[in-house]
Amino acid sequence: MRLLRSWLFVPGDSERKMEKALGNDADALLLDLEDSVADDRQDVAREMVADFLAANQDRSQQQLWVRINPLDTDMALPDLAAVMSGAPDGIILPKVYSAAEVNRLADFLLALEAREGLELGSTKICSVATETAASLLTFDSYLKDISPRLVAMTWGGEDLAAALGASTNRHPTTGEYDDPFLLARSLCLATARAIDVQAVGVVYVDFRDSAGLEQECLRDRRSGFIGKVAIHPAQVEVINRAFTPTDEEIDFARRVIDIFEQNPGMGTIGLDGKMLDMPHLKQAKNVIALVDQLR
Ligand code: COA
Ligand code: MG
């Protein structure tokens, strides 16, 4: 699958926001049926999202995903039943306890794809992998048996704070995430890399602070995340820029690859006065692969 840099949440009961989000630079819109929709608006939201999907079938520039309610609520199946007629590119699964629910969702999708005459297996899944206390202890379940529909994982610090009984997820003076949340972040990243799916950075809730967002994007990228969830259209440009390798990075990566190609059999080489060895070559190839996959 093409890698997606910016994943913009849009409340599923807001025609105005859905129209505004359409065709902006977000690589994917996440039409939300969960936390941004009030209980008495669920039916309205399902219908609006289904209509929006049906009206926007060309996904070549922007994918359309839907966040459904958690599988342990009685809203999840009606959500799916309503939106699958519009052939969403993927489903965001919140409040996951383990990989078992991802696989259960995959079975539901298969049935609904058959009902709708869609290509079987075409609907992808992204799990919000850290919103329950149990989820921090079950990451190994993803390594045992996981549906190939799972193409991305992200994490969440807001619901996790509530689940852990935390009064806040940030350190009061530094503003950094406290350790349970950094643990969640690291486990999500390691698991995603272990099963070769895209690790997507968490939402940055302070949507007026674009400098802070940029710093967090660069930190996520240094760690190995690709892309980030957005909640406001103004965040999209910052995210796209931060996760696109710069011309200098691409040039340097090409030079690293070239110098190893020109010196076959050499495991370590000097370039610009610095030692390069196999991890640097691998990193350079990652940069070029990322550029190719973002096209
Ligand atoms: N998608 C599309 N359009 C959006 C948007 C979004 N996520 N967030 C804001 N906009 C639009 C607004 O409608 C407004 O346009 P308008 O004046 O023509 O109506 C414009 O962008 C500027 O919005 P702004 O005034 O800066 O923000 P706000 O106070 O209206 O909204 C939020 C703030 C947080 C409520 C809003 O950004 C939002 O709904 N975000 C998504 C929330 C969500 O889905 N959460 C679930 C995942 S955590
Ligand atoms: Mg939430």
Pocket test for ligand 1, best of 8, 16, 17 (most atoms within 8 A of CB): 17
Residues with Cβ within 8 Å of residue 28, at least 6 apart in sequence: 4, 6, 7, 8, 62, 63, 64, 65, 89, 90
Q: Which CATH code fits 6-242?
A: 3.20.20.60
For every residue of 32-51, DSSP letters joined together read: ESSTTS-GGGHHHHHHHHHH
89 is catalytic: no
Whose atoms come closest to the Cα of 204: which ligand?
A: 1
| % pLDDT > 70, the chain | 99
Q: Which letter, b or e, does each residue of 146-158 get, where b requires 16 or more Cβ atoms within 10 Å of its Cβ?
A: bbebbbbbbbbbe
DSSP character for 177? B
Q: What are the pocket residues of ligand 1 if the criterion is a CB atom closer than 6 Å to any ligand atom?
A: 8-11, 16-17, 20-21, 32, 35-36, 203, 231-233
Q: Model confidence over 208-252: pLDDT tens digits?
A: 999 999 999 999 999 999 999 999 999 999 999 999 999 999 999
Interval between CA 136 and ligand 2 midpoint (Å): 16
Closest protein CA for atom 3 of ligand 1: 17
Closest protein CA for atom 31 of ligand 1: 232
- Neighbouring CB atoms inside 10 A of 242's CB total 22
Kindly report the average pLDDT of the chain as a whole number. 96
Q: What is the pTM of this model?
A: 0.94
What are the start and end residues of each CATH 3.20.20.60 domain in the chain? 6-242
Band of the pLDDT at 63, cuts 50, 70, 90?
Answer: very high
